[in-house]
Structure 1
Amino acid sequence: MLAFLSKSFEQVFPAKEMFRGTPVFVVALSLANSLLLCILLFVLYLTIDLLINQGEVRLAKDEFTVYLQSLSPVEAVEEGDRAVMLSDLRRFDQGTRATAWNDRDRFYGGMLMGICRNLSALHTNNSALGTLILLGVLIGLVRSLLVIRVSRLSDRASIDVATRLRRSIHRQVMRLGPSDLEDRSFDHVYKLFTEEIDKIREAVFLIVSRIGNHIVMIICLFILSLTINWLLTIQCLIPLAACWFLVGREHQRFASEKTLAFDRARGELRLLGEGLKKTRLVRGFGMETFEHDQFQTHLERFRRKVISVTQGEGWSHWLIRLLVTLCLTIVLFLVGSRVLLAVGDAQMSFSSGLFLIVAIACMHRPLNELWALPNDCDDTSLAADRIYRYISQIPEVGQAVGAKLLQPLNNRVHFESVSYVLSNKRKLLENFDLTIPAGKITALISLDDLEARTVAYLLPRFIEPQSGRILFDGEDTAWVTLESLRAETIFVGSTDPFFTGTVFENISCSRKEYTLQDVTEAAKEVHAHHFILKLPQGYETVLGEHGEQLTEGQNFRLGLARAALRDPAFLIIEEPRNKLDEDTKSLLDDSYNRLARDRTLLFLPTRLSTLRRADQIVLVHEGKVEAIGTHAKLVNSSAIYRHWEYMHYNEFRDDQ
């Protein structure tokens, strides 16, 4: 059923989904809608036939009593018996009884005669006309409600699929997100989460609404056409199908020719555009005449190619109109010749012929939309492939079976021959060895910022080394639980966003074990309490898109408060790269002093005061430790460190 879509889309929306849940209701309502359409067309047929025959019935004398018994009330039959010996009769103002009598030999004739006999409103022309119009309006209103309901259910089915995919992407982001060392995946994931899933949602809506609705409608209309005249229906459908096929082939042929012609025209246009960049060369060497001739040649080629495309489009449209006109002429001739036949078994009334044409015409729109479905869902397969590839990624970091709890850091952290390579084969660490003493302040810097960040990301196991070990007091972090490791090793990023929620929820992360007093104490420790109280509702102030916004410095202090609340043994702080507000800069030094009590701090610094405060500075260069020492020592002993310091703190920097 969905063969035109990729296997990835089958994973997203399997074909069996069409036969359960909301799509089943779509099919059921579509069936009711299609049956009502058939009834509406039949009502239209009765109305047109009433207007044509004006309720007149021609009866032979031997048919008069049968007519009265079949289509008149009981009291009218005795009157008919007295006239049975009369010659041929014409009865006027018979309403839809005239149509019922003329169609008495058709499969629906008995049912129609029964309705006309028992429903007096159909016995006269005016009352029958009013009844049919009212019935048509009511059926139309019910159909419009069903169409709206089908659209809503199709939309609900598509929203359910989109919601399920968004849950899967969110779950996958939580699994893969920390391993995004370069912070580049956000744009890709956000595009998947919004644009690509919207494409899937639109495709599912089209599939459910068109397949669930149009196939049922086409079947019902086809059966209706066969009941009118099965042989004539087949005779009409043959040229219509041939026309549809030929028109489709012509559309494909012209589309491919148009694409090729425009590609060639764009080549000429590129040559023209390149000439616009050669002004200095042309004027400097006196090449005006040569350049003018070249320009005119390419411009004329471009003009001819564009004209050929427009001419080809005109001829293509003319050919399509010719095919459609020829097909319609054949259909009208087939139906008209059957209407013009002498009275007999093969003859059909004008209203029956019109009924057949309208029924066949009603198939055009659903057939056309079904035919266009693969093109309308053209981008969907690519979107599904991208989403499925992302959801299928295996997380870089996993918890080992039988992992044990990690105790708070007491002695040291040791990197033992650690290597880390990006997916593009770029080496960031190679046989990296480093010891970070517990209870000290260490600053980690590198000419390539990714190298220092890699070291920081390895500590809480946001990423996994390809070789080597990271040891906390001799305990390999690969064999401890992620929860215990990340409870004792917290990373505060320079660009960590705040969540949409209150300040209290942002600091406590909505964990119930933390009280307002706990949150307040953590905020005071990093000097965030003062600016929080200045917010409109203090700790209950809502942050986010529809709430209050914070400066980068305030957001950074909020992140420090979030980390301080959890009281980790090892705290990694990545300082903001942008210039901080004066209020934050004046308070950070004291905040760091408080955070450093009985705790190991590792900085990815951007402030010179942080470097001077560090007990040791580790300079990483080309994947290895280049130098270790205090700021004063490295300034004198390391040329690379002096270069790094100059690049970050010289007075001529653009961000000063």
Structure 2
Amino acid sequence: MSLPSSSLAASSLSNWAVVGRLFRLTWSYRRGCLKVLATQVVLLTMGLSGLSLTGLGIDYIRNTMAAGAGEVVPAPKIFGLALPAGWAPMQVILGIAGVILLLAAGRAFLNYAYFVSVNRLLQQELVVDLRGAVYDRLQRLSFRFFDANSTGSIITRVTGDVQSLRMFLDQVLFQSVIMAVSLTVYIIYMASLSPRLMLACLATTPLLALLSMWFSRATQPAYAHNRTLVERMVQLLAESIQGIAVTKAFGREAENRARFEAANQACYDQQLGIFWRISLFSPAVGFLTRVNMVVLLTYGGWLVAQGQLPLGTGLVVFAGLLEQFSGQINNVATVVNSVQQSLIGSRRVFEIIDANIEVQSAPQAERFQRLRGDVRFENVGFAYSGVDPVLRDINLELRAGQMVAILGATGAGKSVLMSLIPRFYDVTSGRLLIDGRDIRELHLDDLRRNIGLVFQESFLFSNTIAANIAFGHPTATREQVEKAARIAAAHEFITALPEGYDTVLGESGNTLSGGQRQRIAIARAVLLEPAILLLDDPTAAIDSETEHEIFEALERAIAGRTTFIVAHRLSTLRRADFIIVMENGRIVERGTHEELMAARGAYRRVANLQLVDARELTAGGEEGAEP
């Protein structure tokens, strides 16, 4: 059965839509952003003040050297304040130098404050909040979303792509605002010194704008493809770790290394192409800004020689402004590069945040504490998007306390049928009712608290055994946990462990056997004391003797509870009040064991095969016992 293609494979968000979302997100942190930008404005002002004082000092030195013997050169004013009368030239120069030094110290402190503020805002607030929002969304999405999207894709978006929004604020928004303000101030300042010199020096600026536009359009598809390659590499890594036992069992380590190296090399080769474009763009920008400096030295030098421009407060200050102007222009490469990366990554994050929550409580959903457990399927059908129906015309009714066993081949729809009861998926046709109410009208949290589940492959968390059993009931006492473990025939092996119930399990509980993991999962379901139990072939990984022990214990837990159990062993099927047999998403037979055996249908064929296997096994044992 094919699953629907990934809903995250393609985005409907345009670049402008993504930028709009990013600005709205930024507005949520406007206080911190304004603080950061204000700091940069102060830094810009202090830098320009230091540059002006440098030019002032140079002009004072030049005028002093050109003055005749006994001629007194008036001391310049610093920020409109006159220096004390009678100061010697050396004192004036040291005074100007002292103010420049104080400004430098102030800029160093503010730079420190700026970096602290930026990192606190972006790393500790925005990234943490956003990652939490994405994780919260993932917790509320239906199983259909996880069926359609790979683990590697989701992990990459939650970890790496979230940083793209940080990049947008730091390297795009902040830098763009700082660049715009700085360039505007520099142009105004240069125009006040010499409009003609400014126009001559900035003649190459339109070429820089055209070059930046070309670079932006050329790199966007490359960055999008790079994200896909990285995602594939992460998925391959995740699968390799999860399937390490299979890899080693079949001796496929070398092949896996080759696959990963190929994926890693593909990322490298593709990134190399991006870096090649960047390596062309940055020198081109640098060359054009150096052309501006050549114009300054030739034309500006001529203006100084003609007496139309002072050396210090004119040419030297202009040179400093042009140097800083060129530095901001050089940042265009970084900003344009960051724009593409942040847009691609941000779009991928927004795709998760915008993903439709298909299964959720209705606005007027009914709250309740306890269900009776009457379950009725009325002409229920279910299909994944874009594929053939998985379930068709399911009609089934259980009264509270009844137990139904479900038999069928792989792909018959057994697990999907049970997944509809806790609303892992919503039915696509018909109705599913519990206690006479459509489950879509019940509050989702209350519904699931009344349902205990044991999956075919039970997942345990890297926590203590007690915490795993109490996962659905965190406030349970140790006595309640131990009672549930006894019901699941798990208490004996748990207490034999060095730390007992406080034993910390490895990842996915891999330090326990399959049967032990399953019994802890059964205890986890039983602890809820649910009205409905869903057991998806819970004894598949357990030997016959342990199965007998578990079902003897479960009989007490099942009593009074509606129970659905997927099973294939006759010993389990016979315990049910009635049995349904499924084929291709339909119920083809139903009845008790005796009724289905008499019907001579699919159930009888399965039962006879098990009886034949049991006789052969018994016969083999008897032959082996003979001398």
Under a length normalisation based on structure 1, what TM-score does the superposition of the two structures give? 0.69
Q: What per-residue deviation string (whole Å, max 9, x for no partner) do you get for residues 173-227 of structure 1?
A: 3332355584856554434322332222222222343134333333443444344
Residue of 29, 33, 56 corresponding to 1:23? 33
Q: How does 1:460-471 map to 2 (within 5 A)?
A: 460-471=422-433
* Match status 1:207 vs 2:172: yes
TM-fit CA distance, 1:590? 4.2
* Match status 1:331 vs 2:296: yes
- Which stretch has the larger CA shift, 311-320 or 391-400? 311-320
Where 1:146 maps in the other structure, the secondary structure is helix
Counterpart amino acid of residue 117 in structure 1 = P
Q: In the aligned structure 2, how far is the partner of 1:220 from the partner of 1:380?
A: 28
Q: Which residue of 2 aligns with 1:143?
A: 107
Q: In the aligned structure 2, how far is the partner of 1:550 from the partner of 1:24?
A: 54
Q: Which residue of 2 aligns with 1:418?
A: 380
TM-fit CA distance, 1:148? 3.5
* Match status 1:409 vs 2:419: no
Contact 1:416 1:470 in 2 (8 A): yes
TM-fit CA distance, 1:636? 8.9
Contact 2:461 2:509 in 1 (8 A): no
Q: How does 1:188-587 map to 2 (within 5 A)?
A: 188-237=153-202, 239-245=203-209, 248=212, 326-341=291-306, 343=307, 346-349=308-311, 352-370=314-332, 372-392=334-354, 393-399=356-362, 401=364, 403=366, 405=368, 408-409=371-372, 412-436=374-398, 438-449=400-411, 451-495=413-457, 497-499=459-461, 502-509=464-471, 514-534=476-496, 537-541=499-503, 552-575=514-537, 579=541
Q: In the aligned structure 2, how far is the partner of 1:10 from the partner of 1:380?
A: 13
Q: In the aligned structure 2, how far is the partner of 1:207 from the partner of 1:318?
A: 21
Q: In the aligned structure 2, how far is the partner of 1:390 from the partner of 1:433?
A: 36
TM-fit CA distance, 1:421? 1.6
- Which stretch has the larger CA shift, 332-341 or 210-219? 210-219
Q: In the aligned structure 2, how far is the partner of 1:16 from the partner of 1:320?
A: 30
Q: Which residue of 1 aligns with 2:84?
A: 117
Q: Which residue of 2 aligns with 1:165?
A: 130
Go from structure 1 to structure 2 and tell me whether the alpha carbon gap of 1:193 and 1:335 turns closer, same or farther (over 3 Å shift). Answer: same
* Match status 1:45 vs 2:10: no
Go from structure 1 to structure 2 and tell me whether the alpha carbon gap of 1:254 and 1:457 turns closer, same or farther (over 3 Å shift). Answer: closer
Q: In the aligned structure 1, how far is the partner of 2:457 from the partner of 2:176?
A: 47
Go from structure 1 to structure 2 and tell me whether the alpha carbon gap of 1:369 and 1:192 turns closer, same or farther (over 3 Å shift). Answer: same
Go from structure 1 to structure 2 and tell me whether the alpha carbon gap of 1:116 and 1:460 turns closer, same or farther (over 3 Å shift). Answer: same
Contact 1:438 1:600 in 2 (8 A): yes
TM-fit CA distance, 1:407? 5.5
* Match status 1:11 vs 2:36: no
Counterpart amino acid of residue 146 in structure 1 = L
Contact 1:526 1:594 in 2 (8 A): no
Q: In the aligned structure 1, how far is the partner of 2:438 from the partner of 2:213?
A: 67
Contact 2:371 2:435 in 1 (8 A): no
Q: In the aligned structure 1, how far is the partner of 2:210 from the partner of 2:367?
A: 71
- Which stretch has the larger CA shift, 199-208 or 480-489? 480-489
Go from structure 1 to structure 2 and tell me whether the alpha carbon gap of 1:129 and 1:640 turns closer, same or farther (over 3 Å shift). Answer: farther
Counterpart amino acid of residue 391 in structure 1 = I
Counterpart amino acid of residue 221 in structure 1 = Y
Q: In the aligned structure 2, how far is the partner of 1:478 from the partner of 1:314?
A: 57
Go from structure 1 to structure 2 and tell me whether the alpha carbon gap of 1:491 and 1:337 turns closer, same or farther (over 3 Å shift). Answer: same
Q: Which residue of 1 aligns with 2:67?
A: 58
| Unpaired segments ≥5 residues, structure 2 | 1-12, 224-275, 615-627
Contact 2:534 2:565 in 1 (8 A): yes
Where 1:363 maps in the other structure, the secondary structure is helix
Counterpart amino acid of residue 22 in structure 1 = G
| Unpaired segments ≥5 residues, structure 1 | 60-87, 92-97, 102-108, 260-310, 652-656
Go from structure 1 to structure 2 and tell me whether the alpha carbon gap of 1:627 and 1:314 turns closer, same or farther (over 3 Å shift). Answer: closer
Q: What per-residue deviation string (whole Å, max 9, x for no partner) do you get for residues 241-267 of structure 1?
A: 2453465478689989x99xxxxxxxx
Q: How many residues align?
A: 545
Q: Which residue of 2 aligns with 1:155?
A: 119
Go from structure 1 to structure 2 and tell me whether the alpha carbon gap of 1:173 and 1:135 turns closer, same or farther (over 3 Å shift). Answer: same
Q: Which residue of 1 aligns with 2:559?
A: 597
TM-fit CA distance, 1:631? 6.8
Where 1:462 maps in the other structure, the secondary structure is coil
Q: In the aligned structure 2, how far is the partner of 1:511 from the partner of 1:639?
A: 41
Contact 2:55 2:312 in 1 (8 A): no
Q: In the aligned structure 2, how far is the partner of 1:570 from the partner of 1:473?
A: 11
Q: In the aligned structure 2, how far is the partner of 1:629 from the partner of 1:421?
A: 27
Q: In the aligned structure 2, how far is the partner of 1:409 from the partner of 1:183?
A: 35
Q: In the aligned structure 1, how far is the partner of 2:218 from the partner of 2:506?
A: 52
Counterpart amino acid of residue 353 in structure 1 = L
Q: In the aligned structure 2, how far is the partner of 1:577 from the partner of 1:118?
A: 99
- Which stretch has the larger CA shift, 194-203 or 417-426? 194-203
Counterpart amino acid of residue 32 in structure 1 = V
Contact 2:361 2:442 in 1 (8 A): no
Where 1:35 maps in the other structure, the secondary structure is helix
Q: In the aligned structure 1, how far is the partner of 2:280 from the partner of 2:426?
A: 64
Q: In the aligned structure 2, how far is the partner of 1:9 from the partner of 1:574?
A: 46
Counterpart amino acid of residue 522 in structure 1 = A
Q: In the aligned structure 1, how far is the partner of 2:155 from the partner of 2:192?
A: 54
Counterpart amino acid of residue 58 in structure 1 = A
Under a length normalisation based on structure 2, what TM-score does the superposition of the two structures give? 0.72
Contact 1:444 1:605 in 2 (8 A): yes
Contact 2:215 2:336 in 1 (8 A): no
Go from structure 1 to structure 2 and tell me whether the alpha carbon gap of 1:170 and 1:233 turns closer, same or farther (over 3 Å shift). Answer: same
Contact 1:30 1:212 in 2 (8 A): no
Where 1:14 maps in the other structure, the secondary structure is helix
Q: In the aligned structure 1, how far is the partner of 2:102 from the partner of 2:158?
A: 43
Q: In the aligned structure 1, how far is the partner of 2:518 from the partner of 2:137?
A: 27
Q: Which residue of 1 aligns with 2:243?
A: none
Q: In the aligned structure 1, how far is the partner of 2:112 from the partner of 2:533?
A: 57
Go from structure 1 to structure 2 and tell me whether the alpha carbon gap of 1:582 and 1:618 turns closer, same or farther (over 3 Å shift). Answer: closer
Contact 2:404 2:565 in 1 (8 A): yes
Q: In the aligned structure 2, how far is the partner of 1:9 from the partner of 1:315?
A: 27
Q: Which residue of 1 aligns with 2:139?
A: 174
Higher relative contact order (CA 8 A, sep 6+): 2
Contact 1:339 1:350 in 2 (8 A): no
Q: In the aligned structure 1, how far is the partner of 2:304 from the partner of 2:362?
A: 80
Q: In the aligned structure 1, how far is the partner of 2:379 from the partner of 2:369?
A: 22
Where 1:432 maps in the other structure, the secondary structure is strand
